Amino acid sequence: MSFALNAAPFFLGLVYGLGGVFAGECSSLSLWLVVQMLVSAVHFAMSIYLFNVMQKPFNADDPTDRTLNARVQQMLCYDPWFAVYIILAIFQIVWLIMGSIWESGDVGEKKECDAYSPVVIVSLVLAWVYVCFGVLFFTCSWCCSATQDAAQEATNAARGDLQRAQNSVLGKIVFGVRTAPRTT
């Protein structure tokens, strides 16, 4: 999803944004496209990083890496690269709002910027879709993994209880019932 939704904003920023900046055309929207291109490049890099982190086998001996939920929690709270990415995500939302205002408003260059309008709109739409679906997918995945972890723990506890009960009954059958001697 990251590559599919960020490829167009990246290449539009590369072609139209850098072209507009170097030609001195529509400075506000050209600058917006260039910055959006850089943000898209960071999304590419972060998706590769997250893919590599999530593909590692879990370490049952490490409480911060036993389950998917533990790994995500570790990443959200302690991973410096993910912290930078959270800051970038906040910046991107602000940047998308600014781009929407610049594209729809009168920035003093409206006549000059008419050729950039469809390009900026495509970039805005794809970036907003990426942000919305990215948050939705991440939240759903994390909630499902937390539910799965809780269900697995409950299953393991039930199996342990069942095993203890079976061992207890089996122990009584095999070894007989031992009770403390009566003293009268």
160 is written with which tokens?
A: 């342990």
Q: Return mean pLDDT, the chain.
A: 80
- For 96-148, how does the pLDDT look when each residue is reduced to its tens digit (9 = 90+)? 999 888 888 755 556 667 778 888 899 999 999 999 998 888 788 767 766 66
pLDDT score at 84: 94
Percent of the chain with pLDDT over 90: 26
Distance of alpha carbon 76 from alpha carbon 62, whole angstroms: 17
pLDDT score of 74 more than 70: yes
Name the pLDDT band for 5 (thresholds 50, 70, 90).
confident
DSSP string, the chain: -HHHHHHHHHHHIIIIIHHHHHHT-SHHHHHHHHHHHHHHHHHHHHHHHHHHHHHSPP-TT-TTSSSHHHHHHHHHHH-HHHHHHHHHHHHHHHHHHHHHHHHHS--S-HHHHTTTHHHHHHHHHHHHHHHHHHHHHHHHHHHHHHHHHHHHHHHHHHHHHHHHHHHHHHHHHHH----PPP--
How far is it, in rounded angstroms, from Cα 153 to Cα 21? Answer: 57
Closest CA to 17 of 139, 102, 131, 93: 102
pLDDT digits (tens, 9 = 90+) for 77-108: 899 999 999 999 999 999 999 988 888 875 55
pLDDT score of 124: 92
Question: Lowest-pLDDT range, 9-13, 16-20, 156-160, 162-166?
Answer: 162-166
Q: Which residues does 11 contact at the CB level (< 8 Å), separation at least 6?
A: none
pLDDT number for residue 174: 55
Q: In this predicted structure, what is the pLDDT of residue 184?
A: 57
